[in-house]
Copies of this chain bind each other. A is one copy, B any other.
């Protein structure tokens, strides 16, 4: 990728790649919700528009955060799945911090469903264990 960055500040170099709401939600889908297909991302609660989804997937792929693979179940070329690359997997600690922050400061709005609450609870109890678990799951999906 040939890219002109606005600055060489490490924070800027990161947020120029994934610092937008929709990219963050796509990576969330992959980390926490085991999603991997275009249709699964499209069906997420926040209702991403098709053109935004396509452009963000392309951008994340070009940046090396996600990678397209042929569907491990159907093995067809037309159907592909997206998995996190090692660079994408290294975003997991950042997302766990987002979870913790919301669990603390957006508590009254956070879904009461057991999955969201479970993850926040796990992050509070043993952040490192949760990170390791999520890393392993993501690596397994990428190796499938």
B10 pairs with A21, CB closer than 8 A? no
CB of A109, distance to nearest CB on chain B (Å):
5
B5 pairs with A109, CB closer than 8 A? yes
A13 pairs with B91, CB closer than 8 A? no
Q: From known contacts A97-B97, A101-B91, A101-B94, infer whether A46 and B116 are also in contact, taking CB-CB under 8 Å.
A: no
CB of A80, distance to nearest CB on chain B (Å):
24
Closest Cβ neighbor of A94 among chain B residues? B97
A52 in contact (CB, < 8 A):
no
Q: Find chain B residues with CB under 8 A from A7 CB.
A: 44-46, 111
Q: Find chain B residues with CB under 8 A from A103 CB.
A: 10
A28 in contact (CB, < 8 A):
yes
Binary per-residue interface labels of chain A (11-38) against chain B in the complex, 1 for a CB within 8 Å, 0 otherwise? 1111110011100110010001000000
CB of A92, distance to nearest CB on chain B (Å):
9
Q: Find chain B residues with CB under 8 A from A99 CB.
A: 10-11
A19 pairs with B16, CB closer than 8 A? no
Binary per-residue interface labels of chain A (96-109) against chain B in the complex, 1 for a CB within 8 Å, 0 otherwise? 01111111111001
CB of A15, distance to nearest CB on chain B (Å):
5
A47 in contact (CB, < 8 A):
yes
Closest Cβ neighbor of A90 among chain B residues? B101
Q: How far is the CA of A23 from the CA of B24 in the complex (A)?
A: 14
A14 pairs with B102, CB closer than 8 A? yes
